[in-house]
Copies of this chain bind each other. A is one copy, B any other.
Amino acid sequence: MAKQVVTPWEVQGDIDYGKLIKQFGVQPLDRIPDFFKEHVLFRRQFTFAHRDVGIVFDAIKKKEPFAMMTGMMPTGKFHIGHMMVAQQIIAYQKLGAKIYITVADVEAYQSRGIPFSEGRKTAIEEYIKNYIALGLSPKNCDLYFQSERSTDAKKSNAYYRLQNELARHATFNEFKAVYGDITPGKMFAATLQAADMLHAQLLPFEGPIPTIVPVGIDQDPHLRLARDLMKRLKTHKFKALTSSYHRFLPGLGGGKMSSSDPTSFIALTDDAKTVKNKINKYAFSGGRATLEEHRKKGGDPHVDVAYQYLTLFEEDDKKLSQIHDDYVSGKLLSGEMKALAIEKINTFLAKHQTAYAKTDTMLAKFGL
């Protein structure tokens, strides 16, 4: 097995989620409230770990206000891995969260040199329009760019001031824990990200309010930094900053899904033919080498990428279970598994792309 490396700047190797839970010191998310089970992401434990998420679950149960904050790095194509974040956002929105979504264009500039104009275009065309097509509503949704926090000066001032305040209480070692090798630019990015997570709790925004940040486990060092810094700020009272961590959706080849490698992902703008070709050509199969062997020993759904994608796209638990069992028994062949995935994904994408085409008129409602 390839050595497991999971840091905010690198994810590689075979991922052992049990090990990650220990390594990061987070809690397994094994008991999920009923209101979450509607969506496969939660029902099927894509979201597998957390910090203090019970506080937010309690708020939901008691119908008390809470905030959900997360962000997008405006680079590359919006793919089905990104979709998992969008779906969580929308799930929390339906549960009554005040939604805060940042376009991390300052971080994209600081860590990758991406100009703001390019970041803005990518954010809108690739991310935001897909979010809207997936069901994000402008209601209770504050979607903003790090480089231009708000059209309300009080809000802008409070946000950036918080970044500067948090910096005073940070140490160089803490930034190293987030980024490994640090540069001044990366330090500013990490601090602005801490401000992103915490500023919903300032008075020009919601005021103190429990906040949940759904992210990939590789982003946990950012959470730890923000959670540590918030305790040192004597000038603000914060309620809990909680987080939930979702699994990495495997790339087509079975490794990491990477925005910079189109053969590793399915984009939400891919057409039906592209999806079919990508899955047939690149999707790592858990099937056996020969038809005979497959019929006899059965396939391995755990490593079969087409099956893994079905766990996200086939919402019917019974059907999915049948597919699983048929694969294990050898009744379902690898090519048939791929065909099922292609059909499910393309059905989804056809509907999604119709919705995407209508999102232009919605942008203004998000202040864009």
Interface, chain A (partner B; CB < 8 A): 106, 109-110, 113, 115-116, 146-153, 155-157, 160-161, 163-165, 167-172, 175, 183-185, 187-188, 191-192, 235
B106–A164 touching, CB < 8 Å: yes
How far, in angstroms, from A185 to B172 measured CA to CA in the complex? Answer: 10
B172–A184 touching, CB < 8 Å: yes
How far, in angstroms, from A156 to B168 measured CA to CA in the complex? Answer: 21
Closest to A147 in B: B161
How far, in angstroms, from A165 to B163 measured CA to CA in the complex? Answer: 14
A184–B192 touching, CB < 8 Å: no
B160–A188 touching, CB < 8 Å: no
Closest to A167 in B: B188
B235–A116 touching, CB < 8 Å: yes
How far, in angstroms, from A187 to B185 measured CA to CA in the complex? Answer: 11
18 contacts between A and B (CB under 8 A): A106-B161, A109-B165, A110-B167, A115-B235, A116-B235, A148-B161, A149-B160, A150-B157, A151-B153, A153-B153, A156-B157, A160-B160, A167-B184, A168-B183, A168-B185, A170-B184, A171-B183, A187-B187
The binding surface of chain A is classed by DSSP as helix
**Shortest CB distance A114–B (Å):** 11
How far, in angstroms, from A161 to B110 measured CA to CA in the complex? Answer: 11
Once A149-B157, A153-B152 are accepted as A-B contacts, the answer to whether A188 and B164 lie under 8 Å apart by CB is yes
Among B110, B149, B175, the residue within 8 A (CB) of A168 is: B110
Q: Which residues of B are found within 8 Å of A171, using beta-carbon distances?
A: 183-184
A187–B167 touching, CB < 8 Å: yes
A175–B184 touching, CB < 8 Å: yes
Closest to A171 in B: B184
Best-buried of A116, A164, A171 by chain B (most CB within 10 Å):
A164
Q: Which residues of B are found within 8 Å of A150, using beta-carbon distances?
A: 153, 157
Q: Which residues of B are found within 8 Å of A147, using beta-carbon distances?
A: 157, 161, 164
How far, in angstroms, from A256 to B245 measured CA to CA in the complex? Answer: 56
Closest to A188 in B: B167
Having A150-B153, A188-B191, one finds 16 other A-B pairs with CB under 8 Å, namely A109-B164, A109-B165, A147-B157, A147-B161, A149-B156, A153-B153, A153-B156, A163-B188, A164-B188, A167-B187, A167-B188, A168-B183, A168-B185, A170-B184, A170-B185, A188-B188
Best-buried of A153, A170, A191 by chain B (most CB within 10 Å):
A153
Among B115, B156, B164, B235, the residue within 8 A (CB) of A156 is: B156
Q: Which residues of B are found within 8 Å of A151, using beta-carbon distances?
A: 153
